[in-house]
Structure 1
């Protein structure tokens, strides 16, 4: 059996602000943007391909994501120090710059919605 991950949803307040962050600052590309009820179904793909992120409009009744720790989407880079420098130069805010941990290199960045994401090194 071949099994993989095709998409991961990120729930946001402002879909366009999220698209602008992920495409403009992170270098992702929009692969699908279409009407979805009163909102949009937006899929974005990382520069190296792989699983896509779905930028989904959060419902007001949904609980807010924790703002004090990274969420459940983890990213990786081949060279975390170089990636950190490039992303920071594009305006990505890092709450934790790259540092060596017992398990490997680790950094944490924030999107324009205030969500925290982990960045590791392969």
Structure 2
């Protein structure tokens, strides 16, 4: 049996701001943008395809995602130093610059909602 990951949910305060971040700063493409109750069902994915991120509107009355630890979502780069430089030039804020770890290279960036993500190179 072969399994793959098709979607990962990211909870955001403002869906349009999240769309602007993922498309404008990371170069993702919107694959789905439909009405969903009072909000929208929005999916974005890397321009070359792959796992889609679902930009879910966070419930203001519900729990908030942790802002101190990165999500268990890691983006892979062939050249982490180059990708870091390009993303930083687009306004992506890094909380951890690229550094060599025992398992490979790692950096941490955050989206405009404060969600943290890994950027790795193995």
Q: TM-score range by the shorter chain?
A: over 0.9
Unaligned runs of 5+ in 1: none
Unaligned runs of 5+ in 2: none
Q: How does 1:6-45 map to 2 (within 5 A)?
A: 6-45=6-45
Normalising by structure 2, report the TM-score: 0.96
Q: Which region of structure 1 is more displaced relative to structure 2, 65-74 or 29-38?
A: 65-74
Q: In the alignment, what sits opposite 1:113? A: 113
Q: Which region of structure 1 is more displaced relative to structure 2, 43-52 or 32-41?
A: 43-52
- Alpha-carbon distance between aligned partners in 1 of 2:34 and 2:100, rounded to the nearest angstrom: 41
Q: How does 1:51-62 map to 2 (within 5 A)?
A: 51-62=51-62
How many aligned positions are there? 122
Q: In the alignment, what sits opposite 2:96? A: 96
Q: CA RMSD in A?
A: 1.0
- Alpha-carbon distance between aligned partners in 1 of 2:77 and 2:62, rounded to the nearest angstrom: 31
Q: Give the drift of 1:2.
A: 2.7
Q: Give the drift of 1:112.
A: 0.5
Q: Which region of structure 1 is more displaced relative to structure 2, 88-97 or 57-66?
A: 57-66
Q: Give the drift of 1:106.
A: 0.2
Paired residue secondary structure (1:56): strand
